Structures are given as C-alpha cells and as structure tokens.
Amino acid sequence: MESVHRARLVVTNPDGSVRYGFGDYAAPMLPRSATKPMQAIAMLEAGLDLDGHLLALAAASHLGEPFHIEGVREILASAGRSERDLQNTPDFPLDETARIDWIRAGRGREPIAMNCSGKHAAMLRTCVRAGLDTPSYLNPRHPLQTRIREVVGRFADETPTVPSVDGCGAPVFGTSLTGLARSYGRIASATSGPAAAVAAAFRAHPEYPSGSTQPERLLHDAVPGLVCKGGAEASIAAGLADGTGIALKMADGMGRGRIELFVAVLRALGIDAPGMAPLATTPVLGHGEPVGVVRAVPLSLS
C-alpha cells in the first residue's frame, strides 16, 4: 500500500435524518459545484424558463465540449446577451480533445469555455426574465444570490454559512455534508416543481451537467433515478429516487478515490448496477501498463 486517502461521508434517510455517517459530517464545508442543482432551482423560482438539456447545462460543470459551448451561446442569445456579459473566470475547455481544437483555432482562455459558463449564462437569463440588474449578478447581496442562499438553506434544512467565492467567481454558501446529502435526497424524490424539473433534466441529459466521459454521466446511466453532482475540493453528492441522500468529501481535496468510495457506498446500500463496475476501481499505470489499483476499503452501512 502506497497512499491512503481519507474521507468523511454521510447517508441520509428520506426524512432527512442520518442513517450512516463517518467522520465529522456535521462540520461546515463548501459544496462548491455540488451546490449547482440548488442554484438552478433558485433560478427557476425566480423566473428562469429553461428546461431539458439547457436546464441541465444551467447546473453544469461541463467539459467545454462543442455541444456545451453551443448550449451556452443559446442561453445567452435567448436573453439578449453575449459572451462579453459572462463574468465567470476565463479558462480552456476541460475535455482534452475540445481543448486541443480550441487552442489550434487560435483561442485562449475565455469565459464561455470555462466549466461554469452554463450556470453564469443562466444567471444572466434569470436576471433578464425577472427584471433584475445583470452587471451586479455576482454580488452576494444581489436578489438572485440571496434567493440562492435561501434555497440552499431550505433544502439542506440548515442556515448556510456566510458566502465565500467559488472558483468561477459566484458566491458559494457552506453547509454540512448532512445538509448536502439531505438536499440531494429531496431533489431526487421531488415529484413536482423546480426540484423535479432539475432532477428530470439531469436524468434525461446526463452528458450536460458533466461531460460525455465523466464518472457522473456514467453513474446517471447506470443507476435509474439517480441525481448526482461533484464539486471542487473532492466533494460529491447524490440523491436516489426514494429520497436517500449521499454526500462525501475526500480529506485531501485532491479527488483520487472519490468515485471509488462513492461506488462502494452505493453497493453498501444494495445498489450494484453493471455500469458501476468500471468506476469501482482505477488502475495505477507504470509505463502505460497497470501496476496497481485505487480502490475503497470494504464498507458496511449496517
């Protein structure tokens, strides 16, 4: 054994109570992009009129694949806005092929290529639809951001922490892992309203919230009814159709082992779809050949 990556995790029951927890799952943490489904719910409540793949893109950490970029442009155009109005951090596409093509085309780091551009485009469209100021849409005191904070607190059943700044420049509100898991259980089990719309968008278009090859997309394909989203600093959360919530965060914030542990949690809950198998372990390569493996320790939730 060469390296050990520790985590804290929690599983919540459909009523929001804790079924199983490991580590300090009650401590405040920043869900980062795992907050995006709640942000999208807040936007819908404020008047956003997206659905389907564009709603999934509004809650995305996308890879900058061509269909992601075109979707962001569609959201902006429908709001009468352009790429110049995006205030998120400039970046290259995360997908390797898309990034190479982008650079070969002579383009540098741009806001639209950054993985949060769908969310920012949707925030602009929400402001236009609701008659809110657009230049200040990232101010924590902006009406849209205060609504997002209220929605985060309502779904987590907690008082969110004061805002910090996410990597894209948007405010991010802290909750506990318990609150994050509880939120996803409520979204995944929703039968009507904005939460149900976001859940339906994720399930129908799993390549939009993440990317064509991302583990989250594969998990959506493998597990019926799942709603799943990762976040920076190695967090990931999911809800099951029955209202069960799951949230975990790797202690080192680096991400290795996150998906393997998440699959172990699903299996401990009695879920073992065939499509999960490729995510249960990850090979460690030496000179291009497998010489080791990343795997989760045996896990029991009894």
Asked whether residue 300 is domain-assigned, the answer is no
Instruction: Give the model confidence (pLDDT) of 189-203 as tens digits.
Output: 999 999 999 999 999
Asked whether residue 2 is domain-assigned, the answer is no
Is residue 19 very low, low, confident or very high in pLDDT (cuts 50, 70, 90)? very high
Contact status, residue 167 vs residue 120, Cβ threshold 8 Å: no
Q: What is the mean pLDDT of residues 31-41?
A: 98
Domain range for 287 is 7-294
Asked whether residue 299 is domain-assigned, the answer is no
Beta pairing, strands 245-250 & 7-12: antiparallel
Task: Name the nearest CA neighbour of 300 among 271, 267, 255, 252.
Answer: 267
Query: Does position 302 have pLDDT exceeding 80, yes or no?
Result: no
Q: What is the mean pLDDT of residues 8-21?
A: 97
The pLDDT of residue 196 is 98
- Alpha carbons 257 and 193: distance in angstroms, whole number: 35
- CATH for 272: 3.40.710
Q: What is the mean pLDDT of residues 283-294?
A: 96
Asked whether residue 1 is domain-assigned, the answer is no
Instruction: Give the model confidence (pLDDT) of 232-256 as tens digits.
Output: 999 999 999 999 999 999 999 999 9
Residue with tokens 């799943």: 228
Residue with tokens 């802290």: 174
Asked whether residue 216 is domain-assigned, the answer is yes
- Alpha carbons 187 and 72: distance in angstroms, whole number: 24
Query: Does position 61 have pLDDT exceeding 90, yes or no?
Result: yes
In the chain, what percentage of residues exceed pLDDT 90? 98
- What average pLDDT does the chain have? 97
Domain count for the chain, please give it: 1
The pLDDT of residue 11 is 98
Asked whether residue 302 is domain-assigned, the answer is no
Q: What is the mean pLDDT of residues 31-45?
A: 98
Query: Does position 70 have pLDDT exceeding 80, yes or no?
Result: yes
In the chain, what percentage of residues exceed pLDDT 70? 100
The pLDDT of residue 292 is 96
Task: Name the nearest CA neighbour of 161 among 32, 44, 293.
Answer: 32
Asked whether residue 301 is domain-assigned, the answer is no
Is residue 156 very low, low, confident or very high in pLDDT (cuts 50, 70, 90)? very high
177-188 and 36-46 helices cross at what angle (nearest 10)?
60
- Alpha carbons 269 and 150: distance in angstroms, whole number: 31
Q: What is the mean pLDDT of residues 209-225?
A: 96
Count the residues in the chain.
302
Asked whether residue 150 is domain-assigned, the answer is yes
The pLDDT of residue 301 is 86
